[in-house]
Amino acid sequence: MHPSSRDAASSVSPEEIARFGALADKWWDPSGPMRPLHAMNELRINWTNGHLPLRGRTSRRVRVLDIGCGAGLASEALAKSGHDVLGLDASPDGIEAARLHLDHQPLPDGSGPLTYRVGSAEELVEEKARFDAVIALEIIEHVTDPERFMCMLADLVEPGGTVIVSTMNRTLKSLAIGKIGAEYILRLLPVGTHEWRKFITPAELGRYARQAGLTITAIAGMTPGLNGWKESRNLDVNYIAAFRKS
């Protein structure tokens, strides 16, 4: 049995929230500081859609929690796929940017409902909230305690539900490409976006998941190319994994 997430210190890092909150008004600029997320978003969402439960527990819609949603890149895409989405982020600035974008560019017909909330995973666990799927994309490497964070993801998903996590592997290649190259050489990301020592290996993520009562069902690398990001067997830098709760 995994340790209760209610006993954990907050997963939210004030420094990380301040850093990403300062970028909120530029989040939706595909040429701005979040352009790597824009570039990989189609792959992330397609892969996620391919590994979600076929339907929700009470309707044909899958009820999805997008933790660490920022200004809503993934949340909007998931809603456009027809899911019932709650985007959660601890940054008020990020959520304000998400709501403003949704107000200015409403979702097309056929989309699922999308709502946003300022808050933390701990608050939802305390409320005993449960979802068909919980998505945490490029967030676990920014939390204070990734092991306990995985426990909270497990607490928030229904039995038989899906947890999907994407993150960065801690390798020399990711140090060269994902940290030094992206932040200092190519300037794809603001300097200080990532702390390489907080990157998580697939083995570590798998161990955290097992301790949380989750079983891995799929894992894939995400690799940039001339024609966009592609699914890959190479897990050296970016990767995405799906887990099932028994």
DSSP-derived secondary structure for 96-118 = HHHHHHHHHSPPPTTPPPEEEEE
**pLDDT tens-digit series, residues 27-58:** 999 999 888 899 999 999 999 999 998 776 66
Burial letters 97-121, b for 16+ CB under 10 A, else e = bbbebbeeeeeeeebbebebeebbb
**CATH of the domain spanning 5-245, picked from 3.40.50.150, 3.30.930.10, 3.40.1260.10, 3.30.70.250:** 3.40.50.150
Q: Which residues share a beta bridge with 137? A: 166
**What are the sequence ranges of the domains in the chain?**
5-245
Specify the 3-state DSSP secondary structure of 39: helix
- Mean pLDDT across 207-222: 98
44 is in an annotated binding site: yes
Flag whether 137 is marked binding: yes
Q: How far is CA 147 from CA 56, 64, 130, 163, in A?
A: 27, 21, 20, 14
What pLDDT, on the 0 to 100 scale, is given for residue 3? Answer: 44
**Residues 6+ positions from 13 with CB-CB distance below 8 Å:** 142, 143, 144
Q: What is the mean pLDDT of residues 74-95?
A: 96
Mean pLDDT of 128-137: 97
